[in-house]
Amino acid sequence: MNIMKAAVLKSFGTPLVIENAPEPVLGTGEVIVDVVTTRVLSYMNEVFSGERNYALDLPIIPGPGGIGRVRAIGPDATKLKIGDWVFCDPTVRSRDDAIAPDIALQGLTAAGAGGMLLQKHFRHGSFAEQMRVPTENVKRLGAITSEEAAQWCALGTLLVPYGGLLAANLQAGETVLVSGATGNFGSAAVSVALAMGAACVVTPGRNETILADLVRRFGSRVKPVKLTGNEDDDREAMKRAAPGPIDCVFDIMPPSVSPTVVRAAVMTVRAYGRVVLMGGVGMAGGAGLELPYPWIMRNCITIHGVWMYPPDAASRLIALVRSGLLRLDEYKTTAFDLDHVNEAVAHAAANGGPFRLTVIRP
């Protein structure tokens, strides 16, 4: 049996353990990838402590997705070649129900009983020298260098808001409001919306330094709004910041945020507008989001809950990067080797702001 180095979570609340693990064995419908670099989510410490109550069958090699090179391919792969640079998409879907597939996030969590069944097989993630990935989750990047691989890890962050904006059917020339714009995923949503052709992105938040930085990075299409905490006043301020009606509201606020802050943003949307909910309101207990039934009905508001993104999103996002419309060099990366994985987790938690990436190079 061949072995590799991996970081293993053996129990919640304990550090990751670096040890030798069996190399993954290739099966039909699968690809083995040599992991070159993988991102560390800013809240991984909360996952590993058990605070987030993520569904993980321990012990497990964690790590959602990554950048690497194809090591071995199965008989159903017709485009991939050994040595190809690829992005490993962690969103694993069951193959026996195309309409409503079960989903597991490889190396991170799973949804429901079906997702846990998926996790039993595609359980181990990218905090290792190799990983086994479903063939359809391996996305070709084209030629890159090993040094560039760290910035390409930003795909994992950018894909989440991209999925929401695709669900919202965001069109070029529209105005979108990003609720949670000063966070890691929210700032990614701003850059993705602009890359998709949004004429204007309204960016509410409390941190004026980050709001000013968004304008510095992306220019006058970004319209910052300093929130006061008064729901009615904030709603009107967000509306005034937009040059016209707000076509789409995208929310990606974390669990710690009050639902009233989210409601203030959601209810800025125009009649016949679209709202996408991708955040964490209510996930840590407390009140959920209340919206007036008459307002939704009479204004023909579309509300779309979105978890992750469609299967073709990664390839489409890679094309946006390759075209120059979406820039990965906005991201500042800090790299750790696998032996220092626990330091990497701590660093990610302390440095989880906009356009920051903590990565591991196994």
CATH number of the CATH domain containing 42: 3.90.180.10
The answer to the question of residue 318 being in a domain is no
Q: Are residues 150 and 175 in the same domain?
A: no
CB 2: neighbour CB atoms within 10 A?
8
Report CA-CA distances (Å) from 204 to 228, 241, 248, 265. Answer: 10, 9, 14, 8
Q: Are residues 178 and 144 in the same domain?
A: no
Instruction: Pull the structure tokens for residue 191.
Output: 């850059």
d(CA 197, CA 217): 16
- The sign of the CA dihedral 56, 62, 65, 70 is negative
Q: Domain with 203 in it: what CATH number?
A: 3.40.50.720
Q: Do 51 and 91 sit in the same domain of this protein?
A: yes
Share of the chain above pLDDT 70, in %: 100
Categorize the per-residue pLDDT at 52 as very low, low, confident or very high, splitting at 50, 70 and 90. Answer: confident
Residues 168 and 148 in one domain: no
**Contact, 257 vs 279, CB < 8 A?**
yes
pLDDT digits (tens, 9 = 90+) for 160-200: 999 999 999 999 999 999 999 999 999 999 999 999 999 99
Could you say which of 305, 320, 350 is where a domain stops? Answer: 305
Judgement on whether residues 134 and 196 belong to the same structural domain of the protein: no
* Long-range contacts at 208-211 (CB < 8 A, ≥ 24 apart): 210/182, 210/353, 210/354, 211/181, 211/182
| Cα-Cα-Cα-Cα dihedral sign, residues 68, 58, 116, 189 | negative
Say if residue 268 is in the same domain as residue 224: yes
State both tokens at 135.
Answer: 């063939």
Q: What is the pTM for the complete model shown?
A: 0.95
Range of the domain at 112: 3-154+331-361
Residue 310 within any structural domain of the chain: no
20 and 129 share one domain: yes
pLDDT at 87 over 90: yes
Could you give the CA distance from residue 332 to residue 328 in angstroms, rounded to a whole number? 9
In this structure, are 10 and 129 located in the same domain? yes
The pLDDT of residue 203 is above 90: yes
- Helices marked H in the chain: 44-49, 112-121, 149-152, 155-167, 184-195, 208-218, 231-241, 259-266, 293-298, 313-323, 341-350
Give the bridge partners for 91, in sequence order.
Answer: 105
Residue at 313 is within a domain: no
Q: Report the sign of the C-alpha dihedral through residues 264, 208, 256, 64, in that order.
A: positive
Q: For residue 233, what pLDDT band results from cuts at 50, 70 and 90? A: very high
Grade residue 99 by pLDDT with cuts at 50, 70 and 90: very high
* 263 plus 346 within the same structural domain: no
Beta pairing class for 3-8 and 17-22: antiparallel
Whether residue 125 is found in the same domain as residue 224: no
Report the pLDDT value the prediction gives residue 67, as an integer from 0 to 100. 98
Going by C-alpha positions, the residue among 66, 80, 83 that lies closest to residue 136 is 80
| The pLDDT of residue 1 is above 90 | no
In a domain, 72, yes or no: yes
Domain count, the chain: 2
Domain boundary residue among 269, 290, 305? 305
Query: At 285, is the pLDDT very low, low, confident or very high (cuts 50, 70, 90)?
Result: confident
312 part of a folded domain: no
The reply to whether 323 falls in a domain is no
Query: Torsions phi, psi of 302, nearest 5?
Result: -95, 125
Rounded CA-CA distance 222/200 in Å is 6
Q: Are residues 144 and 198 in the same domain?
A: no
33 and 72 part of one domain? yes
Tokens of 265: 């943003």
